[in-house]
Amino acid sequence: MAPTKDFHGTALAASAGAALLAAVALAGCAPVTAADPTAAPPSGSASATTTGSEGSGSGATGTGGTGTGTTSPRPTSTITPVPGVDDDRGHLPDTCTGLITAGRWDDSFAAMPLNDPTVVGDPVEVPKDALTPVLQPDGTSLYCVWRDPRADITFLSIRVAVVDSTKTYAHLQSALDGYDCAHDGYGYRCQRISQDSQYPVTDGDTYSTRGDVGIHIQQANIPTSGLLDDVIAHVF
C-alpha cells in the first residue's frame, strides 16, 4: 500500500511550522486565533439522541447504511450549569448518517460498510478514549465506524457524546499530550497527525468539545478535508 502523501487535499509539510498548519487542517479545522473558551456558541438545528454504554457492548449500532441506534429523549443535564460554558443546544442525531452531509463523502469513507458487526461487535463495543473520563452519567453517545472488514488499516470513526462541560476543556488540555490544540471561538479542538506504526499511511486523531458535546474522529489512510466542520454543523 503506497504512503498517503496528501491527507486532506493539503500536502503534509516536513517542517515543524508547516506540520502545525497541516495538523490543524486535518479534519477540516482552519487555523484560528485564540478565543475565550467560555464563549457561548450560536444555536443550531440537530435534535435527536442515541443511547449507548461505554465499553459495555451496548453502544449505537448501524443497520445497513444508516447507522440507526436506540433513540431516547435528551436527558436533563446532571451538571451545574456554568454561564457561557454549559450549552445544551447541541444534540446528537439518531443515526450515523445524520452526522454528515448526504452525498458529500460518498467518494470517501461513506463508500465503506458502516458499523459492520465484524468490525464493531454485536452489540457495538465503544472503545475508551480521552472523552471517557468526562462522559455524562447517562452515557448518551453515538459511535460510528466506516470500515471494510477486509481492510488492513483504512477506516474512519466518529464518536459524539454528551460530556461534563465543567471538566472537559481542562481534561483535554492535560490528557492530549503531543496534540496541536486551538480555540475556534465556539469551542476547543485538538489534533494529532502521525505515520502509522505498522503501515506506510497517515493516521489522524481529532477531538473537539463545545458546550456539553464532545466529538472524536479517528482515521487512517482517508483524506477528509472539512469533516469536523461538517459534523459540528449537524450537531449544533
Name the residue with higher pLDDT: 122 or 52: 122
The model's confidence at residue 139, banded by pLDDT at 50, 70 and 90, is low
Query: CA 18, 19, 21, 27 torsion: positive or negative?
Result: positive
Does 29 score more than 70 pLDDT? Answer: no
Q: What pLDDT score was predicted for residue 14?
A: 32
Does 106 score more than 50 pLDDT? Answer: yes
User: In angstroms, what CA-CA distances link 51 with 75, 91, 102, 138, 199?
Assistant: 10, 12, 23, 8, 34
Q: What pLDDT score was predicted for residue 1?
A: 42
The model's confidence at residue 185, banded by pLDDT at 50, 70 and 90, is confident
- Average of pLDDT values for 156-165? 95
Query: Which of 1-5, 88-92, 170-174, 215-219 bottoms out in mean pLDDT, i.e. has the lowest?
Result: 1-5
Name the residue with higher pLDDT: 88 or 19: 88
Whole-number average pLDDT of the chain: 73
The model's confidence at residue 27, banded by pLDDT at 50, 70 and 90, is low
End-to-end distance of the chain based on CA atoms, in angstroms?
38
Does 183 score more than 80 pLDDT? Answer: yes
| Chain centroid, CA 205 distance in Å | 9
CA atoms of 220 and 236, how far apart (whole Å): 26
CA atoms of 210 and 180, how far apart (whole Å): 17
CA atoms of 98 and 229, how far apart (whole Å): 14
| pTM score | 0.69
- Average of pLDDT values for 157-166? 94
